[in-house]
Amino acid sequence: GENVEQHPSTLSVQEGDSAVIKCTYSDSASNYFPWYKQELGKGPQLIIDIRSNVGEKKDQRIAVTLNKTAKHFSLHITETQPEDSAVYFCAASYGQNFVFGPGTRLSVLP
């Protein structure tokens, strides 16, 4: 089955710096890769996604890149702000469902 790895598990950056979270997947049939942000005490919320026929997608300060050959995709957050502090999950489509990575706790230090 599909296996999704995510690194790092924790990440601390200074406000204004960039943050990068990387995920790898194992099933070459996966064709859709969403990223979720989970704030403390809340459910995960979709922040950006990418389809397998696209190499990069950007939405304001957030971007995602996909390398199908290497089976990895990354989340890039620029000009980080304190409100970016949260747990971030990557996911890969697998059949009728998704497989999620273990999560990255991002802390943006003022």
Partner 1 sequence: NAGVTQTPKFQVLKTGQSMTLQCAQDMNHEYMSWYRQDPGMGLRLIHYSVGAGITDQGEVPNGYNVSRSTTEDFPLRLLSAAPSQTSVYFCASSYSISGPGNTIYFGEGSWLTVV
Phi, psi of 61 (to 5 degrees): -85, 0
d(CA 35, CA 38): 10
User: Given the complex with partner 1, which of 80 and 98 has the nearer CB atom?
Assistant: 98
User: Given the complex with partner 1, which of 42 and 58 has the nearer CB atom?
Assistant: 42
CB 107 within 8 A of CB 8: no
User: Given the complex with partner 1, which of 71 and 105 has the nearer CB atom?
Assistant: 105
Applying the rule CB under 8 A, the residues between 34 and 93 that interact with partner 1 are 34, 36, 41-46, 49, 51-52, 89, 93
Q: Among 11-19, 63-71, 77-85, 101-109, which window interacts with partner 1 (CB under 8 A)?
A: 101-109
Is residue 101 a contact residue for partner 1 (CB under 8 A)? yes
Q: Among 12-20, 61-69, 70-78, 99-107, which window interacts with partner 1 (CB under 8 A)?
A: 99-107
End-to-end CA distance of the chain: 41
Residue in 102, 83, 3 with CA at minimum distance from that of residue 40: 83
**Exposed, middle or buried: residue 23 (CB in 10 Å: 0-12, 13-18, 19+)?**
buried
What residues make contact with partner 1 under the rule CB under 8 A? 4, 6, 9, 31-32, 34, 36, 41-46, 49, 51-52, 89, 93-98, 100-103
